[in-house]
Amino acid sequence: MTDHEAAARTVVITGASGGIGRACAAAFAARGDRLALIARGRAGLDGAVHEAERAGAAKAIAIEADVADPDAVEAAARRAEEELGPIDVWVNDAFSSVFAPFTEITPEEFRRVTEVTYLGYVYATGAALRRMLPRDRGTLVHVGSAIAYRGIPLQSAYSGAKHAIQGWHEALRCELLATGTAVRTTMVQMPAVNTPQFDWVRSRLPERAQPVPPIYQPEVAARAVLYAADHPARREYWVGASTVATLLANAVAPGLLDRYLARTGFDSQQTGERRPADQPDNLDRPADADTDFGAHGRFDGKARARSRQQQAAHALGALAAAVARTTGRIVPAVRAARPGSAPRAAGAPVPVTPGPGA
């Protein structure tokens, strides 16, 4: 770990009261970072703060805000810097969704999902960049999904929003690279994760919703976000073998995948149990205002705590970085050791050996 990575940082996380955001808070806290945790639910936020403090956070504060409100997001960023110092890392994770066929989703519901899941990232990133760009430092990590590339049935609003994030992120990254700023943006494409969302997202399905197996624990996702925050030069990261397989299959044979999901995508997202009539609904109001759901959903018995693909990718990344550092030291030394060699001044012409017939 570099000195920069070891030093305590100011980290802002949206959607921090549950699921992946909650797990990210614990992961950054274990490093001793200062955390500003943003969400709508008071009980969930309080639980996240207490958990972060126990994990070792230098300081953690809870900020109640709806990311669909740009003024609220700006105020949250201002408070984060006033209480914790300049923002080093901003993690976008807040989202909402509706489990239903497209024809059963109202225009108002579609608008709300888009405002939270897509525009929430846009507003939050704008608030972060207004602070990072003048300082010429900072990292943005956007929690994505395999659904950012491959839409699935019963999640049309969420699929559309994630696709929008993907296109927007690519454009933003190009603009940042063009300016030469040291501010970086990266995206982490997630697999199915065991989070509380399947018990609080608005649903019109006859049965209880579930993530499409294989399912991973939110700590797997959090480790990927932490790694991306430490290594933000890559445009994106894929987490889990299922994500890799889905994105590659979609790139090679998207039409075939359409037909496969038409056959399997409805049953694979439902458990076979009847959906409770009183299931919580967090689309317009937080489901965790009075009850803390934590990071995990109800699939602990099925969820995987490790991803071999992730472990291999991180190991290869570390090896590549080590090789690059070693090469950077060896090559100049070898050149300097050559008989009669001397360093060439910057801008000096490169000698050209005449070819045959010159």
Catalytic residue from among 158, 216, 227, 237: 158
Q: Are strands 192-193 and 139-143 parallel, antiparallel or unpaired?
A: unpaired
C-alpha–C-alpha distance, residues 330 and 321, integer Å: 14
158 catalytically annotated: yes
What's the chain look like in SS3?
CCHHHHCCCEEEEECCCCHHHHHHHHHHHCCCCEEEEEECCHHHHHHHHHHHHHHCCCEEEEEECCCCCHHHHHHHHHHHHHHHCCCCEEEECCCCCEEECHHHCCHHHHHHHHHHHHHHHHHHHHHHHHHHHHHCCCEEEEECCHHHCCCCCCEHHHHHHHHHHHHHHHHHHHHHHHHCCCCEEEEEECCEECCCHHHHCEECCCEEECCCCCEECHHHHHHHHHHHHHCCCCCEEECCHHHHHHHHHHHHCHHHHHHHHHHHCCHHHEEEEECCCCCCCCCCCCCCCCCCCCCCCCCCCCCECCCHHHHHHHHHHHHHHHHHHHHHHHHHHHHHHCCCCCCCCCCCCCCCCCCCCC
C-alpha–C-alpha distance, residues 131 and 153, integer Å: 39
* Nearest to 90, CA basis, from 53, 133, 43, 30: 133
Neighbours of 127 (CB within 10 A): 24
By annotation, the residues acting in catalysis are 158
